[in-house]
Chain A
Amino acid sequence: MKRLLIIRSSRQSFWGSCRVISPNLQNSYQLLASPECEIKFFDISDLFLKDDALKDGNYITDLAQTLRDYNPTEIIFTDHRPHPYEILIFLSMHYPLKDLPPLVFHLYGDFTFFAQSWALIGEKLKGHKIKLIVASESQYKLVKNFSNSEVNIETFIFPVDEKDYYYDHDERLETRRQFQIRDYEQVILYSGRISLQKNVDILISEYAEIFKNSVFPTKLWIVGAFDDHGANFQGVVNYEGFMYAKIHQLLESLPKEIASSIRLWGLQPKETLRKLKNAADMFMSLSLYHDEDFGMSPAEALSCGLPTLLTDWGGYSSFTSKRWFCNLIPVELTKYGHQLKVSKMQEFFEMFNLAFINQHDRTKWSQEFLKEFSIRSSSQKLKAILDKDYLEFQGFNWNLAYYSNVYWTLLHGRQLSIHLNPSSDNFYAQIYQHYISGKNI
């Protein structure tokens, strides 16, 4: 009989997507509970050290005691914070690490951000039985590049809650009526953070270029909060208000009829987001975010059966399939930076118009996607991964140590980096070339 001990954060993540991913993932694990598989959750504060010192918390000693009492067959870390390294290093004072059962780590986009911690964990756990579960095929390649062996790496794409995101034709009609969208008008939707590397400004410019002389009445809806985190590790620091000013200025520069067809919705609750996704006709994201390991917002759009156009970048590439409508914009890493084949947007739009998509298509695509990525089906995938034999960890290679060194130096240096600014000729390419799949669907 299996006894899974799932260590999770007692507080919501500050990342919007992780606030959705984490509960969905835990729900998938919860469904594994059966007479043959017992599940126990252990909640730990992301500030467990401070809480232990200042309050009545005894997180680490409690965890050690739980390990002795519950005697789990596997320990699973589902959250990105607190970092498993922090937990394990303090746990080692109360419980010998070599006595721990096999360990499972779900990796997030911040794997690169926490490269130093992962490099340290690699040393501690060499020879221990572990599984590193990554969130996409691209992340698999990226982590493999940092590892001595890929035998410990598994791919598991995070689930979507089928109760939150699905296609509902009546809701589509109602929402379009509410926002006065006529039947012949087409709505392109982007949802997600509006941050530097998400390239929402390029999306707007290209939209304006394509539709300035178009006979098709079209709208562009942009849903999400402005985010001025910039790209710290590349030395690009944004100040509060920069992204809004940038988009605002761009809209001001467009012809009035184009600018008036673009709507900024701001951050919306998930019910409204689903309505907007149902009401829209296409989803587009030109993100080249450096840690785009997955893509919660395209996954939610595909759950609503939306024809989707994404960059061939990071986790996005894993969403292509002939079972639903998801195309990729080719990405190339040149000496001077990323290059997007934006003409693909025009092609996508033409293809969309030729396809005469109806409610049956949307329903079918939504169902097919959820068949693959719902919490229930994901639970089965998790079971298959956990049932595989655990192999001894061979450790991470020099790439990770070097990368973590460069990354941290630059993160704190706050200057433009010749190593980590996108180029085919530098260290960035060695790491992030794995984010380009080259798939042509």
Chain B
Amino acid sequence: MSNNEKKEIIQWGYELIKNAYLNKVQEPDLQDELYLNYLFPFSKEIYSLGHSVLLFGGHSFKTFNQKPFITVRDGIIPLTIFFGEMRPDEFKLDIYIPKDLWFIVPDEWRGKVRFYEIKSDEIYSAHKLPEKIFVSGILNSTLADPDQFEASIKRLADGIGKENLKNIEVIAYFPDKRNDLWGSWEEENVLSYSSAIFRHLGLELKTPRWGDLKNEMNFRNCLYHEVNSGLFIKDSYLSHFALSRGAGLLAEEPKPEEDNFNFLFELRNSLYHKYNFYEFDYSKVEKFSDPLKSNQFTYFKRLIEFQNKDVRLNFEWEKWYASYIKRFYKNNKPTSRSSFNI
């Protein structure tokens, strides 16, 4: 790989996402594809009456504003940048973002932004067991630290019951990634991920390739679980893929902030799953604190930009950005009642 090619890859982090809005791009460009390809198949397009979009996919303002509302599939990082770089008065339409990300909405955007979540008709638990479990996610320390990965897999195992898992077929799909993009395999704790999967879900796993999986039409009696901290994509293609073929989700404990949401309406996405839409009562939570306006962010951003001259150092940029966001929200929880864990 030449240095120029490496430069393109390095730039995609903050700059790419930022420029995707500021340039008001008309066509998806090469850099967008890099981003989309990296997150494949989670980033694949979906069609929904809720006008689902990935903000960094090269959409123009004109396209957005033709719609009554958009349902944004992006995760924390693109949304944080979006809210930081754009002004709400530029958008005529309402913007719905994933419900779990209510705390990243800046004060000036709060009138414009509402929320949604995916609901499956089937909900599985230790009391209602599936015949199969389809577990997916990205084995990558930027998107999921080994500890978070293990916590998510453990939550699944505990939710279904370790004993019950012995009689349930487990299909694990963790897409291949290009290890030249975000560092090498040893950095990504592949052994820790594998160990977590085997310890909690057992050794008898089926690991299909995407080529086989993509043609599977039947996920009835199957639980879908995605290890996804939602840093880049919260509403993934793969969840729609499984749920629209009959899969269900794991039963979840109600979150403390649940009382602040008021249900608005629902939209079905398939015979088996839907979007529920909500508004949030911000009067009950504290003021927003902006991760991009902290001194720490400005300092590190300058440092990274300076280091950009040396390609070798900058493979860490996206990783640093992701860990910065994680650390920021750990230290600056918007409310003491928040149960959000990234």
Interface residues of chain A, those whose CB is within 8 Å of chain B, are: 14-16, 193, 225-228, 238-242, 244-245, 248-249, 264, 266-267
Contact = CB atoms under 8 A, between A and B. Distances in A.
B163 interface: no
Contact of B218 (A242, A245, A267): A267
A245 B217 contact: no
Contacts of A244: 244, 268-271
7 contacts: A226-B270, A239-B47, A240-B240, A240-B241, A241-B240, A241-B244, A266-B271
A416 to B, nearest CB: 18
B47 A240 contact: yes
A14 B212 contact: yes
A264 B49 CA distance: 18
Given A16-B217, A267-B220, A249 B49 contact: yes
Contacts of A228: 47
Most buried by B among A14, A15, A249, A264: A14
B47 A245 contact: yes
Chain B, interface SS category: loop
Lowest 5 CB-CB distances: which A-B pairs, in order? A14-B215, A239-B47, A242-B47, A225-B217, A241-B47
A238 B218 contact: no
B271 A238 contact: no
A429 B268 CA distance: 39
B209 to A, nearest CB: 8
A14 B218 CA distance: 11
B46 A241 contact: yes
A266 B246 contact: yes
Nearest to A245: B49
A240 B217 contact: no
A244 B240 CA distance: 12
Given A264-B271, A266-B271, 14 more contacts: A193-B217, A225-B218, A225-B245, A226-B271, A228-B47, A238-B47, A240-B237, A241-B47, A244-B269, A244-B270, A244-B271, A249-B49, A266-B246, A267-B217
A240 B236 CA distance: 11
Output the residue of A16, A225, A227 with the most chain B CB within 10 A.
A225
Interface string B95-128: 0000000000000000000000000000000000
Contacts of A240: 44-47, 237, 240-241, 244
A244 B215 CA distance: 17
B320 interface: no
B63 to A, nearest CB: 15
Contact of A239 (B45, B220, B268, B272): B45
Nearest to B213: A14
B48 interface: yes
Contact of B268 (A15, A242, A248, A266): A248
Contact of A266 (B44, B45, B272): B272
Contacts of B47: 228, 238-242, 245
